[in-house]
């Protein structure tokens, strides 16, 4: 004998229930950690403005050959002391006829190269030193941190000035010196982060299964403690650009004929009374880049902070 099955909707109405209206869209991908970081970063208007400005400066530096027909650092005494918006020289010229628009574009390449490579060198050294110090602890940690404290107590610019004076000025020298003198704070930041997680359960589990110290550090600890290093490295890039400008201003940084914003500021101060644009044009470009880097660093700090999720 066939048994009839009552209609589900009728049964739900009979017991006072409602028909199922589950309209969950399972096609939508779940949120990922990277997606959460990007969403929090986008909410920070200053950080987004800084990111857009940095992208525009990078594009201007990359395509400088197409944005100007002038040659960087080319001396043309016949066009000396041209003011802003002069024919053929939208940003004017300096005392020896160098086009400021051309030098600012090509000077962006120098500043970005120095900031990026100095930041990579400092971050690489800081990560290795900070990880070794925090992971092994005891006398190794004490020795490394006391040495780091000694280096941090020394005046940064004066040490860089002394080293470059002995070795010789130049772009590569500035990159190496700034990178080798900038790792200490990154090492301390990473050490503090590792000390918070190195006794976590997942680290103990890795030790229990026989993972090597190298694998534990680079596979389990660093991925969970690298966020503050990323933030500090971003801020250090802006600081490195400013330090390069200071060294070039003092005459031991990038040398002519290579254009550098700090060097252009040093040259422009001699004509500040009569031709202030020679100083303010590169100074404003430098300020915009450094400020944008600070905005991006602050935005990354807020976006990568799990407490603000």
pLDDT-based confidence at residue 8 (cuts at 50, 70, 90): very low
pLDDT-based confidence at residue 3 (cuts at 50, 70, 90): very low
For 244, the domain range is 38-64+93-308
Tokens of 297: 């660093």
Total domains in the chain come to 1
Q: What is the mean pLDDT of residues 88-95?
A: 83
Residue 254: inside a domain: yes
Residue 174: inside a domain: yes
Please state, in angstroms and rounded to a whole number, the distance separating the CA atoms of residues 237 and 119: 5
Residue 16: inside a domain: no
For residues 28 and 95, the model is more confident at 95
pTM over 0.75: yes
Residue 237: inside a domain: yes
For residues 144 and 33, the model is more confident at 144
Residue 255: inside a domain: yes
Tokens of 156: 């940064």
Least confident among 28-32, 58-62, 93-97, 208-212: 28-32
Q: What is the mean pLDDT of residues 280-308?
A: 83
Residue 112: inside a domain: yes
Contacts of residue 111, defined as CB under 8 A and 6 or more positions apart, other chains included, come to 241, 244, 245, 260, 261, 286, 289
Give me the pLDDT at residue 306, please.
Answer: 56
CATH assignment at residue 185: 1.10.3720.10
Please state, in angstroms and rounded to a whole number, the distance separating the CA atoms of residues 206 and 24: 38
What b/e string do you get for 276-288 counting C-beta neighbours within 10 Å, with b at 16 or more?
ebbbbbbbebbee
Residue 249: inside a domain: yes
Give the residue carrying structure tokens 């780091």.
Answer: 148
Residue 4: inside a domain: no
Residue 169 has pLDDT above 90, yes or no: no
The predicted-structure confidence for 178-198, as pLDDT tens digits, reads as follows: 999 989 989 998 888 888 887
Tokens of 161: 């000035």
């Amino acid at each position: 004998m066939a048994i009839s099955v009552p209609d589900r909707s009728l049964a739900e109405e009979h017991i006072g229930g409602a028909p199922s209206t589950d309209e969950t869209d399972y096609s939508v991908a779940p949120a990922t950690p990277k997606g959460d970081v990007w969403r929090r970063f986008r909410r920070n208007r200053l950080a987004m403005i800084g990111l857009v400005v940095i992208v525009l400066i990078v594009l201007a530096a990359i395509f400088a050959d197409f944005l100007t027909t002038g040659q960087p650092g080319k001396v043309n005494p016949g066009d000396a002391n041209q003011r802003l918006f002069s024919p053929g020289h939208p940003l004017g010229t300096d005392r020896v006829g160098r086009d400021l628009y051309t030098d600012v574009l090509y000077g962006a390449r120098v500043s970005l190269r120095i900031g990026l490579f100095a930041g990579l060198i400092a971050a690489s050294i800081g990560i290795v030193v900070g990880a070794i110090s925090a992971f092994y602890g005891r006398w190794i940690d004490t020795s490394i941190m006391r040495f780091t404290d000694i280096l941090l107590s020394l005046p940064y610019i004066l040490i860089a000035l002394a080293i470059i004076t002995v070795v010789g000025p130049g772009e590569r020298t500035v990159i190496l010196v700034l990178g080798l003198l900038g790792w200490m704070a990154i090492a301390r930041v990473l050490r503090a982060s590792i000390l918070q997680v190195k006794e976590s359960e997942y680290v103990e589990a890795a030790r229990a299964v026989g993972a090597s110290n190298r694998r534990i550090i680079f596979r389990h600890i660093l991925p969970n403690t690298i966020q503050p290093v990323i933030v500090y490295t971003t801020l250090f890039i802006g600081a490195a650009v400013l330090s390069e400008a200071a060294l070039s201003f003092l005459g031991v940084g990038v040398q002519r004929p290579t254009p550098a914003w700090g060097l252009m500021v040093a040259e422009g101060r001699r004509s500040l009374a009569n031709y202030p644009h020679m100083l303010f044009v590169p100074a404003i470009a430098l300020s915009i880049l450094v400020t944008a880097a600070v905005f991006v660093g602050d935005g990354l700090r807020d976006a990568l902070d799990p407490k603000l999720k």
